[in-house]
Amino acid sequence: MSRKDDIKKLIVIQKRRLQKRKEQQALFGLDVPPHILTEIEDIEAEIKKLHTELEALEDSGVDEESQRALSELAEDTEPKQRAQIYLQGDFPSLSADRRSAAIDAFAAVIGISPQAIEVYHVYEGSIILGWFPAL
């Protein structure tokens, strides 16, 4: 299942939760418990966040394979920062020496060791995804 499909499914689930809480709110009237109001706000915020993520995925043009890789990496609980570097040109056709030099240059700009950068996927339009420990 793609990340887009996952998000769409989560939106449906959250909307169902929201509907049930709103029904409870209506039944309680003015005496609605604060935890129900708080949960309604939290669910609405989560739905908005999911819609924003879905729109970003649809606008990004990133293929499904890359999205799956990103999702797997995002599940890692170790604190990390993500750097996305977009290149013009044909990065996959660079020699190993030039590719290494480019990674060294990116690392120097970010202020980390080149060994902390991993190239996860390169596709047409060239994107390098580097994950490294939080500074």
The enclosing H or E element of 64 equals: helix 64-74
Evaluate the CA torsion angle 27, 32, 37, 43 in order and state its sign: negative
Count of helices and strands (H, E) across the chain: 4, 2
Provide DSSP, 103-131. Answer: HHHHHHHHTS-GGG-------TT-EEEEE
Residue labelled with tokens 């044909």: 90
Say what the alpha-carbon torsion angle 58, 62, 64, 70 is, to the nearest 10 degrees: -110
Each residue's pLDDT tens digit, 37-69:
999 999 999 999 999 988 887 776 655 666 666
DSSP, res 75: T
To the question of pTM greater than 0.95 for the whole model, the response is no
Q: Going residue by residue through the chain (135 aa), what tens digit of pLDDT does each one get?
A: 678 889 999 999 999 999 999 999 999 999 999 999 999 999 999 999 999 988 887 776 655 666 666 666 566 555 555 556 655 556 566 677 877 887 788 778 777 777 777 766 554 444 444 444 544
Least Cα distance to 22 among 1, 4, 2, 47 occurs for: 47
Q: Taking the mean position of all CA atoms in its chain, how far away is CA 71?
A: 7
